[in-house]
Amino acid sequence: MNNLQLKSDQVIMTETQVAKMLNVSIRTVRNYRKAGKLKYFQPSKKVYICMSDLLEFVTGRVNGHNKEQV
């Protein structure tokens, strides 16, 4: 994703950290982002996910906006 502006207090995580947090595989996290379900940014080879985007993703799943099971 391009043109991302982070706030100084924004928490960012790697795919590995997100996978551990959600108790899923890294491949599952990659599938979520490639399907457009989880926002991310990639300033170089490494992929990063903002905590706020992760919370939005999880909240949407909890509220039933995403029918796929974790």
Q: Is residue 25 domain-resident?
A: yes
Which of 31 and 59 is assigned the larger pLDDT? 31
Q: Is residue 50 domain-resident?
A: yes
Query: How far apart are the C-alpha atoms of 48 and 43, rounded to whole Å?
Result: 8
Range of the domain at 39: 12-54
Determine the average pLDDT of the residues in 28-51: 94
- Check if the beta carbon of residue 29 is closer than 8 Å to that of residue 19: yes
Q: How many CA atoms lie within 13 A of 14 on its CB side?
A: 8
pLDDT of residue 51: 93
Q: Is residue 31 domain-resident?
A: yes
Domain count, the chain: 1
Q: Is residue 30 domain-resident?
A: yes
Least confident of 17-26, 27-36, 37-46, 59-68: 59-68
- Check if the beta carbon of residue 39 is closer than 8 Å to that of residue 53: yes
pTM of the predicted model, to two decimals? 0.73
Q: Is residue 17 domain-resident?
A: yes
Q: Is residue 36 domain-resident?
A: yes
Q: Is residue 26 domain-resident?
A: yes
Q: Is residue 35 domain-resident?
A: yes
Per-residue tokens: 14 = 């790697």
